Amino acid sequence: MNIIFLGAPGSGKGTQASLLSLNLNLEPISTGDLLRKEVEKKSKIGILAKSQMESGSLVSDDVVVNIIKEKITTKSCEKGFILDGFPRNINQALKLEEMLENCNKKIDKVFNFDAEEDVLIKRIAGRYTCKKCGAVYNRYFKPTLKDGECDNCGSNELENRIDDNEETVKNRLKVYKESSFPLIEHYKKKHLLVSIDALKISTLVFEELKSNINN
């Protein structure tokens, strides 16, 4: 089974992709995570992508399409995958269809994570993670019990993503809004789109996803 998650930054796609991938033995593929790794490595791709990511704009289609092309043909994707953050526009969606056709694969479902903008801004701008164990917190909704200390592993290395500040978040949401409408229409026409209320608590979103996949 191959799945796409569409949704604005902060709509919970990443969390659900991790949960669902474990549950269904699918490979989670987040272009945002893959790009951040390239930036950290200071690779050629990372150097090209860094300034666009920091301002909240999209990285060029060629760069992300190549990253996806490489990833979906690996062995880890044989049983299926969950795409989180790709495609972000129609050109990327068409490129994806072309590469899937070439390896006899197809998209089975597209979930659209629906959520209101003001909640999304708080979800993203308030987000921080533990560098050591990866636990995720939120200044507004789920702060650490002790200030500056991870509840899970006790580390003091808590960090914000560079593009999770309020200014960049607003631009990321604007960019998302502009590009998502045609994508939603594209997958509606193909009868693949399922809308999910992303403001519900995470366990309920997860149940809704699973029941949709099983039907």
Beta carbon nearer to ligand AMP, 149 or 165: 165
Taking CB under 6 A as the binding criterion, the range among 37-45, 54-62, 187-195, 200-208 that sits at the site for ligand AMP is 54-62
Please give the Cα distance from 106 to 96 (Å, whole number).
9
Task: Using CB under 6 A, pick the residue from 2, 5, 88, 173 that binds ligand AMP.
Answer: 88
List, edge to edge, every strand of the sheet that includes 2-7: 27-30, 81-84, 2-7, 109-114, 193-197
| Residue of 161, 170, 200, 210 marked active site | 161
SS3 for 60-82 is: CHHHHHHHHHHHHCCHHHCCCEE
35 belongs to the binding site for ligand AMP (CB under 6 A) = yes
- The nearer residue to ligand AMP, 52 or 149, going by C-beta atoms, is 52
Which is it for strands 158-159 and 127-130: parallel, antiparallel or unpaired?
A: antiparallel
Minimum gap (Å) between residue 214 Cβ and ligand AMP: 27
For 16, other C-beta atoms within 10 Å of its C-beta total 24
> Is residue 45 within the footprint of ligand AMP (CB under 6 A)?
no
Please list, in sequence order, all residues whose beta carbon lies within 8 angstroms of the beta carbon of residue 133, skipping any fewer than 6 positions away.
150, 152, 153, 155
Mind giving me the DSSP string for 189-204?
HTT-EEEEETTS-HHH
State yes or no: is 88 an active-site residue.
yes
- Both tokens of residue 112? 């659209």
Write down the least CB distance from residue 155 to ligand AMP, Å.
23
For position 15 contacting ligand AMP by CB under 6 A, the verdict is: no
User: Smallest gap, in angstroms, from Cβ of residue 38 to ligand AMP?
Assistant: 10
Q: Is 165 left (phi over 0), alpha (psi -120 to 50) or beta?
A: beta
Candidate list 3, 29, 59, 125; residue touching ligand AMP; CB under 6 A: 59
Contact positions with ligand AMP (CB under 6 A) in 149-168: 163
- Where on the chain is the footprint of ligand AMP (CB under 6 A)? 9, 31-32, 35, 52-53, 56-59, 64, 85-86, 88, 92, 163, 172
Known catalytic residues?
A: 13, 88, 127, 161, 172
